[in-house]
Amino acid sequence: ERERSGRRSRSSGSAMEPHLLHARARRQKEWWNGACMGIIILATLVFLSCLLLGMDGSTDLESARPSLGLRTTKLWMSQTRYGASTTSINRHRMQSSRSVARLAGGDAKNEEKLAQTSSPIPAAASLEENPTIFGKILRGEIPAVVVHEDELCMAFRDVNPVAPTHILIIPKKHIPMLSEANDDDSALLGHLLSSARKIAKDQGLGDGFRIVINNGVNGCQSVYHLHVHLIGGKQLSWPPGV
């Protein structure tokens, strides 16, 4: 009798084990579902809080939606205006660079025509009255890659170079051309050449360079503000141009 009772107990225990396992699995599933639902609710509350805080303190989501749309539109319009402004600046820089290339560059095909069509002008009394493109560069109205500047002169790269190194050195005083300089300008003229020597050294032109000053129509001068061409960085030919 005792042996039969033990067998019934073991068989009853074996029969209960699947039921217990099923109940445990169901509780675990319910726990995970509850945890996931809690996370979703918490994330939703955080999102709604951030949304409401960003809408001028509005607590009515429906009334706040137009405000959100208006802010998005304003942001888009601001970005559009910024893009248009940047495009305008880039266009101005490009046009300025083209102007410098057209009037001050080393375009051999057009330089002679420009020299023939340009007219000499009298010396300006001040920098503000200097009408040339170099006057505009000195005033900062046209951009330039400046490599040297002191109280008497400025040097910047030619935007249309005829050699690897092509730098223009101009006096800050408006002297239309070399032939119109006077004896009082002797120190300034010497300073231009001295500056050219220093710049050539800084640019690594130890193997040689060329200094060119165009004067008047036959000298192929197209900008009537005295300027010194510093040219180098390669083997130059001779004669330079006749």
Place of tokens 């249309």: 160
d(CA 165, CA 155): 12
Looking at residue 154, the DSSP 8-state letter turns out to be E
Catalytic residue among 166, 174, 225, 227: 227
Per-residue b or e along 147-181, where b marks 16 or more CB atoms closer than 10 Å to that residue's CB: bbeeeebbbbbbbbbbbebbbbbbbbbbbbbbeeb
213's tokens: 């000053």
Looking at residue 172, the DSSP 8-state letter turns out to be S
Task: Please indicate whether residue 92 is annotated as part of the active site.
Answer: no
139's tokens: 């005033």
Mind telling me the catalytic residues? 227
